[in-house]
Every structure is written in structure tokens, then in C-alpha cells.
Amino acid sequence: MKRLGCISQISLIIIAVCLMVIPFVYESRSTLILLTQIFIFAIFAMSYDILLGYTGIVSFGHAMFFGIGAYTTGILLQRQEPTMGIFILSIIVGIIISVIVSYIVGLMTLRLKSHFYAMLTLAFASLFQVASEKWRSLTSGNDGFTFRIPEILIDRSTFYLICLILMVILYFMLQRFTQSPMGSVLIAIRENEQRAESLGYKVLHYKIIASIIAGATACLAGSLYAASLRFVNTSVFTMDTTLDALLMTIIGGVGTLLGPVIGAGLIEFAHHWLSGLAEKYPLFERWIIFFGIIYILAVMFFPKGIVGSIQGWKAGKKLKKAVKVKHEKKIAG
């Protein structure tokens, strides 16, 4: 049995199965919608983890790809027929666009120091945001537009299951990627870029690949997001969206893939729950400050986040046990 973070592979599969059963036993529509949002954001956050947790790249423009996915799906479904075929086409087109964008942007900016990259991705994302506001003919600007989605997806349970399955598939796919030789190179780059370079790896090349994969995954999340809301507006391109990914990944645990999933769950639950409270107590409207502070504390003291810290703690225990066993063996023999 493979040890995977703090929960073994089998336990994960059990959890996934339980999640699959939920729509059949639990009828609450709002719960299904909330969980679907969690799955969608889990995909988004995992994509961010590939950049931050595995390659060590801090991007402040991840919303770009999310937005590209959302708008591509929205625009195609609105202008063409709302069929499954068009929906899948929109996902493919979105991914193609985001691959091109991440390649061009990556080529220009990934060779620079981390500070520059962060600034530039911020600037590019804001460019997309401004463009989406101004290009009203395409996007209807700030107001956004609604659109119909394919028949099959209208049923909340079906959509729920699709998102869940996609999340699980992507989790395992991304996991395999990080454990592949290419994934190991990315981790090496995160640990010590100069060393990786001196070992002969074209670091820029690998960073761009990571960026493309992360972008494509985020784009998919964006498409699903638009479909779940049946509405898209400029908010998908805002800093808030990127911040969501940041918070989820860091608080959940960078570099674990599981962490961002948990982070997504935490934050979306909190959002839902606290927004409810906000109606009674206006103070809770600023709930995000709470997460902002946790995030700051996490970056300062628990850079590994929840999952990472548990992993570390368990690894520490294991190490202590191993040392103890060795010590006892020494005494005995």
C-alpha cells in the first residue's frame, strides 16, 4: 500500500466513493452545489500547487487561465448550441488558448527573478481583466452574461458527479506527473535552481512546461465554474480569484496536491457558512480577512500548511521510531 501524505491511497479511494454516494442519499441542493464548487476550486488550487508547491514559482496571474476557460465556455455555449459537444469543444479551445498564452507569457517572464515574475503575472492578469471589461461586444463587460448549458449537466447530481470524477482523475494524473521524471526535475528546480541548471537541465524549458500544465488545468476549472453558474463576468479575471488559489494552496499545504483540495474545502465551506452569518451579523462580511491572517501566519510559521505539517509530523515520528529501533538494536547486538 503506497503511503500518500497523511492518508493512504486506499483511504482516499474510500473517501472518493463516499463522496460519490452523497447525491443519492442526501437531497439538499445547496449542499450539492457547495460540494461541486469545492471540487471545481480543488482542481484550480491543485493546478496552482503544480506551480508553487512543486516548481517553486509564485504566479499572481493564475486567474488569467481560469478566466480564459470560463469565458470560452460561456461564449461558445451562448453563441452556438448549448450541447455537450459544444461544451467539450469549449474546454478544448480554452485549453489551446491557455497553452498559447502561458507559453508566450512564460517565455517572456520565467527567465527573470521570482519578484519580476510575480509582478509581471500580476500585470498580465490585470490586462486580461481590463480587456474583459472593455471588450463589451465579446464579454458584455462587467455585467457579464448568462447562457444555457447542455441538458445533461442541468441536473445538479449529474454535474456534481462529473466534477467529482474530474477532480479525482486530475488528482491522480497530476500526482503521476509529479512523481514522473519530469516532475522530479521540477522539484529539483524548486529546491535549488542553480544546481538543476548546472546539472544540465534547461530550467526555463521545464518551468514553461509546468506553467502550461498548470494553466491548462486551471482553464478546465474555469470552464466547469462557468457551467456551474451558467453565468460569467469579469470577476473570473480578478485578483480575488488568484488569491483564492493562493489561500487554498498555502493553508491546505503546498506541494502535496491533497493540501489544495482540503484548502478548497475549507475556504469554500467557510465562505458559504460565514456568508450566511453575514446576513445576520455584518461583521462576517469581511470573513476573508480571517483567512488572510491565517494565510500570513501560515506563510510565516507553517509554510507547509495543514497537510504538509501533518506529513512532517508523521515523518518526524517515523524517524524517531526508526532511530529508537536502531538504538535498541545497537544495545542488543
Partner 1 sequence: MELMLNLIINGLATGMLVFLLAAGLTLIFGLMDVLNFAHGGFFAWGAFSAVWLYSLSGSFFVAIIGAIATGIMLGIFTEKIIIKPVYGNHIQQILITLGFMLVLTEFIKVVWGPNQMAAKTPEFLTGSWELGNVILIKYRVFIIIIALIVYSMVQIALKKTKIGLIVRAGVMDKEMVQALGINIKKVFMFVFIVGSAMAALGGALIAPYSGVVYAEMGMEYAILAFIVVVIGGMGSFSGSLFAAILVGLSGSFMAYFIPDLSLAVNMLLMAIVLIFRPQGLFISRG
Using CB under 8 A, list all residues that contact partner 1.
56, 58, 60, 108-109, 112-116, 118-120, 122-124, 126-127, 130-131, 134, 239, 243, 246, 250, 285-286, 288-289, 292-293, 295-296, 299-300, 303
State the nearest-atom distance from the C-beta of 58 to partner 1, in Å.
5
Which of the 8 DSSP states describes residue 30? Answer: H
CB nearer to partner 1: give 56 or 69: 56
Query: How many of the other CB atoms lie within 10 Å of CB of 177?
Result: 17
Of 154, 147, 144, whose CA–CA distance to 81 is shortest?
A: 147
State the nearest-atom distance from the C-beta of 257 to partner 1, in Å.
18
Dist. CA 275–CA 270, nearest whole Å: 8
State the nearest-atom distance from the C-beta of 269 to partner 1, in Å.
19
What is the grid cell recorded at 24? Answer: 443519492
Backbone angles phi, psi at 231, to 5 degrees: -155, 145
State the nearest-atom distance from the C-beta of 115 to partner 1, in Å.
4
CB nearer to partner 1: give 226 or 245: 245
Query: How many of the other CB atoms lie within 10 Å of CB of 112?
Result: 12
State the nearest-atom distance from the C-beta of 298 to partner 1, in Å.
9
- List residues bridging with 146 in a β-sheet: 231
CB nearer to partner 1: give 127 or 182: 127
Half-sphere exposure of 178 (CA within 13 A, CB side): 24
CB nearer to partner 1: give 141 or 150: 141
Dist. CA 230–CA 153, nearest whole Å: 11
State the nearest-atom distance from the C-beta of 170 to partner 1, in Å.
24
What is the grid cell recorded at 79? Answer: 453563441
State the nearest-atom distance from the C-beta of 117 to partner 1, in Å.
9
Which of the 8 DSSP states describes residue 54? Answer: I
Dist. CA 225–CA 40, nearest whole Å: 6
Query: How many of the other CB atoms lie within 10 Å of CB of 140?
Result: 19
The contacts of residue 258 (CB under 8 Å, 6+ apart) are 4, 5, 6, 7, 12, 171, 252, 307
State the nearest-atom distance from the C-beta of 136 to partner 1, in Å.
10
CB nearer to partner 1: give 56 or 82: 56
CB nearer to partner 1: give 87 or 190: 190
State the nearest-atom distance from the C-beta of 289 to partner 1, in Å.
5
The amino acid sitting at 240 is D
Query: How many of the other CB atoms lie within 10 Å of CB of 332?
Result: 6
CB nearer to partner 1: give 61 or 69: 61
The contacts of residue 176 (CB under 8 Å, 6+ apart) are none
CB nearer to partner 1: give 39 or 48: 48
CB nearer to partner 1: give 4 or 278: 278
From residue 257, how far is each of 45, 245, 325 by CA, in Å? 8, 12, 32
Q: What is the DSSP string of 291-324?
A: HHHHHHHHHHH-TTHHHHHHHHHHHHHHHHHHHH
